[in-house]
Structure 1
Amino acid sequence: MNADRVFIVDDDELILKALARVLELSGYETRCFLRPADALAAIEAEAPVVVISDYMMPSMDGVAFLKAARARFPAAVRILCTAAEDFRVALQAVNAGEVFRIISKPWHQQELLTTVSQAAEAARLRIENERLTAEVHRQNGQLKEINTRLEQMVQQRTQALLEGLIAALDYRDAETQWHSRRVSLYARRLAHQLGMEEPALTVIEHGALLHDIGKIGVRDRVLLKPGPLTGEEWTEMKRHPELGWALLQRVDYLRPASAIVLQHQEKWDGSGYPSGLGGEEIVIGARIFHVVDTLDAITSDRPYRRSRPFAEAREEIVRCRGTQFDPRVVDAFVAVPPEDWERIRLDVETVAVLSADLAESPPHLEDLDLAGARA
């Protein structure tokens, strides 16, 4: 193991030799300097553990030197060795030079060795603390990177899960295919108009996207029945918000959106279901959904009627302000430029066309880029 290196700075060569002899006999490696400037020039390259300096020196006093040494190489522990029994000097040394100890001249040999030993130990502890701190920062950086990658994987897989759930519902209820995708983007736009930010925007988008997911639990003979539902069948259909809520409770990432799914059929005036909530008892995401769901219902084709213009949808939503819809949400809806709603609709229609083309002409296996999947 290498010996601890000690710098000794004194303008008296006899004192330098005496201090060096005592320390070397105790196992320290010493470097002696008659001029403080020479010690400063070597301190970074030679990295001493301890620096011992005289106070009264012609070119630079010990306090100024130790202050400069601290700036150049703060890892070294500094000791002032002086014959000046002056409290002012000692205080100046401690405050300006961060001096570990002050040794008086002439020194007591055991006191000198004990002080230097304690200073070397303090330096080692400081270095070890800095090493451990750096290691913790490095590991924290690695942990943050790992967590980021895991979060990205969770989001990617959750998005795949979302798409799978919506596709499953689309296959069962083709009448409203792409409806969920439109209203999810409409809901996000309207939430943004209301001044909402992340993560609330994504929660509302997910809630709107999955609002009808509970219909997966409704029997085909009820869900796909072309004519009016019987009382019993209507009771079963009205369970789909609760079924959807229960389904999302099992997916941590989607649980925040479950309240929107549960309440998406509630109305501002309390006439909705399943709980007959009214006003601000209904979560804001569900109140936003009510408006954009009506927008999409009116402006989309259905088997029993053709779509109607945006102006008619807007008129109907304004007419129901304060009864079916939250007035504040309606006001925000009216403030959104009509071209924003049209752009969203066109974007979804483009995706729908591309998806239909892909379904009719799926790519051959050799055309697929599988390198990323294997990586």
Structure 2
Amino acid sequence: MSAERVLIVDDDELILKALARILEAAGFEPRCYAGTDDALNAIESDAPVVIISDYMMPGMDGVTFLKAARARFPGAVRILCTAAEDFRVALQAVNAGEVFRIISKPWHQQELLATVNQAAEAARLRRENERLTAEVQRQNGQLREINLRLEEMVRQRTQALLEGLIAALDYRDAETQWHSRRVSLYARRLALQLGIQEPELTVIEHGALLHDIGKIGVRDRVLLKPGPLTTDEWTEMKRHPELGWALLQRVDYLRPASAIVLQHQEKWDGGGYPAGLKTEEIVVGARIFHIVDTLDAITSDRPYRKSRPFQDARDEILRCRGTQFDPRIVDAFLAVPAEDWERIRLDVETVAVLSADLAENPPAADELLGALETALRA
């Protein structure tokens, strides 16, 4: 390993030679300069670990030189060599942070070498700290990249799982898929109106998208029955929020949305099911869903009736303010321009048509569907 360099500046040639001999014998590589300008010009190429400067020199005193040396090569540790009468000025330099230590003239050799060794060790520790800091920053950068890739992988797998769950339900109930997509985007828009931010925003969207997932556990003859349900059949149908909640408990990243699925049939006045919760006992995502579900139910075609205009849905939601619906969320709903709801509906209809056209090419359909839905949420 090459010897560590010590840059020495003094206008006295004898002192330069004496310091050089002492430091060379101690294993250092001295670089001696009689003038401050020459020393400053050479400092970057010499790359010293320690700089020793006399105080009283012509043209530039030692404190001024060490300040300039610090600006040009901050990695070197600086030592001021001064006579006793200059001590007050030198102390100010130490306090200002320009100087690591002071060596008095005439010096004691042991004290001189101890000071230079301490300065060299301080420089080594500083370099090691900078190296470790850079390494930590590099590793943190790699960790951020890994986390971003993992987050993207989780997002893709979450989306794939959501698509799979909705597709599974769609096989049972053809109307559910596009209804679920509409209300999920309606719920996101209303949550934004309420000032809700991520990650709760996505939780609400997922809860609305999967609100009926528990219907997978309802028998076909009940789920698909064209006429009125019997009391027993209605009891079975009313279990779907709890079935959906139980299903989502098994998926870590969907579990936060499970409360919305469980409570999506609860009403503000306590007249809903399965638990008869009321007012703010119901999570905000379920209270949001209840309003947008009503909006979609009224403005969509159903087997037993035709869709009605947006104004009818608005009037019905306003009529039920404080009974079925949270008054504050109703007010937020009324503040959303009607064009926003219409745009969401038309966008989902576009996705539905394109998806049907691409049904013979499922990978292309899935890719297009994902891109369009990302755009819808933007």
Q: TM-score, normalised by structure 1?
A: 0.94
Corresponding residue for residue 256 of structure 1: 256
Partner AA of 2:53 in structure 1: S
Corresponding residue for residue 140 of structure 1: 140
Corresponding residue for residue 321 of structure 2: 321
SS at match of 2:100: strand
Partner AA of 2:182 in structure 1: R
* Residues 99-133 of structure 1 deviation map (CA, whole Å, 9 limit, x = unaligned): 22111111111211121111111111110111011
Corresponding residue for residue 184 of structure 1: 184
- Residue 95 of structure 1 deviates from its aligned partner by 2.2
- Residue 15 of structure 1 deviates from its aligned partner by 0.6
Contact 1:66–1:97 (CA under 8 A) maintained in structure 2: no
Partner AA of 2:361 in structure 1: P
Worse-superposed segment, 328-337 or 278-287: 328-337
- Residue 90 of structure 1 deviates from its aligned partner by 2.8
* Residues 20-76 of structure 1 deviation map (CA, whole Å, 9 limit, x = unaligned): 011112211111011111111111222101101111101111111111111111111
Corresponding residue for residue 10 of structure 2: 10
* Residues 206-243 of structure 1 deviation map (CA, whole Å, 9 limit, x = unaligned): 11001001111112122112222222222221111111
Partner AA of 1:142 in structure 2: Q
Contact 2:82–2:90 (CA under 8 A) maintained in structure 1: no
Q: CA RMSD in A?
A: 1.6
Query: Taking structure 1 as reference, are residues 51 and 177 closer, same or farther at Cα in structure 2, changes over 3 Å only?
Result: closer
Worse-superposed segment, 186-195 or 205-214: 186-195
- Residue 176 of structure 1 deviates from its aligned partner by 3.1
Corresponding residue for residue 84 of structure 1: 84
Corresponding residue for residue 167 of structure 2: 167
Percent of aligned pairs sharing the same letter: 85
* Residues 248-294 of structure 1 deviation map (CA, whole Å, 9 limit, x = unaligned): 12222212211111100000110001110001111111111111101
Worse-superposed segment, 316-325 or 93-102: 93-102
SS at match of 1:304: coil
Contact 1:175–1:303 (CA under 8 A) maintained in structure 2: no
CA distance in 2, matches of 1:104, 1:343: 82
Pairs within 5 Å for 1:21-40? 21-40=21-40
Corresponding residue for residue 59 of structure 1: 59
User: Within the alignment, does 1:198 sit opposite 2:198 as a pair?
Assistant: yes
User: Within the alignment, does 1:43 sit opposite 2:14 as a pair?
Assistant: no
Corresponding residue for residue 373 of structure 1: none
User: Within the alignment, does 1:294 sit opposite 2:321 as a pair?
Assistant: no
- Residue 137 of structure 1 deviates from its aligned partner by 0.7
Query: Taking structure 1 as reference, are residues 363 and 173 closer, same or farther at Cα in structure 2, changes over 3 Å only?
Result: closer
SS at match of 2:79: strand
> What stretches of structure 1 of length at least 5 have no aligned partner?
369-375
- Residue 97 of structure 1 deviates from its aligned partner by 4.7
CA distance in 1, matches of 2:26, 2:239: 86
Corresponding residue for residue 126 of structure 1: 126
Corresponding residue for residue 68 of structure 1: 68
CA distance in 2, matches of 1:246, 1:192: 28
Corresponding residue for residue 374 of structure 2: none
Contact 1:260–1:283 (CA under 8 A) maintained in structure 2: yes
CA distance in 1, matches of 2:121, 2:189: 63
Corresponding residue for residue 362 of structure 1: 361
Contact 2:63–2:90 (CA under 8 A) maintained in structure 1: no
- Residue 347 of structure 1 deviates from its aligned partner by 0.5
Partner AA of 2:198 in structure 1: E
Misfit runs of 4+, over 4 Å: none
- Residue 179 of structure 1 deviates from its aligned partner by 0.3
Contact 1:85–1:104 (CA under 8 A) maintained in structure 2: no
Corresponding residue for residue 373 of structure 2: none
- Residue 85 of structure 1 deviates from its aligned partner by 3.8
CA distance in 1, matches of 2:361, 2:130: 59
Partner AA of 1:51 in structure 2: I
Corresponding residue for residue 345 of structure 1: 345
CA distance in 1, matches of 2:176, 2:151: 32
Partner AA of 2:41 in structure 1: A
CA distance in 1, matches of 2:354, 2:294: 26
CA distance in 1, matches of 2:61, 2:31: 19
Contact 2:169–2:176 (CA under 8 A) maintained in structure 1: no
- Report how many aligned residue pairs link the two structures: 365
Contact 1:70–1:97 (CA under 8 A) maintained in structure 2: no
CA distance in 1, matches of 2:247, 2:347: 29
SS at match of 1:177: helix
CA distance in 2, matches of 1:198, 1:83: 66
Query: Taking structure 1 as reference, are residues 364 and 126 closer, same or farther at Cα in structure 2, changes over 3 Å only?
Result: closer
CA distance in 2, matches of 1:325, 1:270: 10
Corresponding residue for residue 265 of structure 1: 265
- Residue 306 of structure 1 deviates from its aligned partner by 1.1
- Residue 364 of structure 1 deviates from its aligned partner by 10
CA distance in 1, matches of 2:177, 2:2: 76
> What stretches of structure 2 of length at least 5 have no aligned partner?
368-378
User: Within the alignment, does 1:217 sit opposite 2:223 as a pair?
Assistant: no
